[in-house]
């Protein structure tokens, strides 16, 4: 007799507004328990000290997490001048100080050098793996690390305001793998100063924005009242840039069985005009996603199949 899986078959996305002092894994656990969901995961770690958008996938939505990892992210953060810490945030031990307080105009000008594809060395206190161990674990043990630079992309960076001589508020839009703390480290060095991140908030991850976000306590209260589905976004929310194709009942069945389907010539032409380099297509039946498919030689070949009731 097959073993019964624990939890409910809940599928969809939660656009969580993560509070400070809570790890991403802890946040996922609390959301999963609130829904009593069988399966949950997140798209992009957010530091415990940071707040803001943490997209959490439940059930079948976990099959779309990889697509969201490539999405652009927007961060707004406060730079505190004069003090550098081991972790480059307010939690780390002080490692250096400086009397330099860059002027707002100088900060805005210096940010321009960090826009585009750049090389960035991750901070020692990061999730980068070194010999099978996490860098932050080694750093906490006092191990000296020499991490290699990685290519990242920062699409936009601007100075929002400088409320006083000791602080600057900056907003960036970037690709995956970008460390704000490392950016602040390098920005300060370019200005002959020392600094750390005193506040960090992620305001956007692809289609997940502050307008869609819900606070963790509000979500838990909603689930307690029996209305959790009000906060649940569709599984396909993470696939907003992938073209859709409505399929027949017969073709939907074939796709869920892992079999390919043949497209009509007009369907091929329509999709070709909208396809990205990945050639991925979202096949839907009665407005529900059936499968993610790769289009090749006039056929749709399923790569991920969804079982939504």
* 240 carries an active-site annotation: no
The H-or-E segment that residue 181 falls in is: helix 180-190
Q: Coil, helix or strand for 20? A: coil
pLDDT digits (tens, 9 = 90+) for 96-125: 999 999 999 999 999 999 999 999 998 887
pLDDT digits (tens, 9 = 90+) for 222-233: 998 887 788 899
* Residue 52: per-residue pLDDT: 98
Q: C-alpha dihedral over 3, 11, 216, 26, to 10 degrees?
A: 40
Number of H helices, E strands in the chain: 8, 19
Q: Which pLDDT band holds residue 140 (cuts at 50, 70, 90)? A: confident
Beta strands in the chain (DSSP E): 12-18, 40-42, 51-58, 73-81, 83-85, 94-97, 116-120, 129-130, 133-134, 150-164, 167-174, 195-205, 208-209, 214-215, 244-246, 261-262, 280-285, 288-296, 299-305
Active-site residue, selected from the candidate residues 17, 21, 47, 99: 47
Domain ranges of the chain: 12-70+207-237, 73-205, 242-305
Using alpha carbons, select from 123, 84, 87 the residue that is nearest to residue 100.
84
CATH topology of domain 242-305: 2.30.130
Q: What number is the average pLDDT over the span 32-52?
A: 92
Mean pLDDT of the chain: 91
Domains 12-70+207-237 and 242-305 share a fold: no
Q: Coil, helix or strand for 260? A: coil
pLDDT of 3 > 70? The answer is no
CATH topology of domain 12-70+207-237: Pseudouridine synthase (3.30.2350)
pLDDT of 142 > 80? The answer is no
CATH architecture for segment(s) 73-205: 2-Layer Sandwich (3.30)
* Residue 5: per-residue pLDDT: 63
């Amino acid at each position: 007799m097959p073993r019964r899986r624990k939890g409910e078959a809940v599928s969809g996305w939660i656009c969580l507004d993560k509070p400070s002092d809570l790890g991403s894994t802890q946040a996922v656990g609390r959301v999963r328990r609130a829904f009593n969901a069988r399966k949950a995961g997140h798209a992009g770690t957010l530091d415990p000290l940071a707040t803001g958008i943490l997209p959490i996938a439940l059930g079948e939505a976990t099959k779309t997490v990889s697509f969201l990892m490539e999405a652009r992210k927007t961060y707004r953060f406060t730079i505190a001048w004069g003090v550098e810490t081991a972790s480059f945030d307010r939690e780390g031990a002080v490692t250096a100080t400086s009397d330099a307080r860059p002027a707002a105009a100088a900060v805005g000008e210096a940010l321009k050098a960090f826009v585009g594809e750049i090389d960035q060395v991750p901070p020692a206190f990061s999730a980068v793996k070194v010999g099978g161990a996490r860098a932050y674990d080694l750093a906490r043990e006092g191990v000296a690390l020499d991490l290699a630079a990685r290519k990242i992309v920062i699409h936009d960076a601007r100075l929002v305001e400088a409320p006083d001589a000791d602080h600057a508020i900056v907003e960036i839009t970037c690709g995956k793998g970008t460390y704000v703390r490392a950016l602040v480290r390098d920005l300060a060095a370019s200005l002959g100063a020392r600094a750390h991140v005193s506040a960090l908030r992620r305001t956007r991850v692809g289609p997940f924005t502050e307008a869609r976000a819900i606070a963790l306590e509000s979500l838990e209260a909603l689930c307690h009242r029996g209305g959790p589905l009000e906060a649940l976004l569709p599984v396909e929310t993470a696939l907003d840039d992938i073209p859709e194709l409505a399929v027949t009942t017969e073709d939907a069945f074939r796709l869920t069985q892992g079999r390919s389907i043949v497209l009509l010539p007009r369907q091929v032409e329509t999709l070709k005009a909208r396809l990205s380099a990945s050639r991925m297509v979202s096949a839907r039946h009665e407005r529900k996603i059936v499968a993610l498919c790769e289009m090749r030689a006039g056929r749709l070949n399923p790569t991920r199949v969804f079982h939504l009731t």
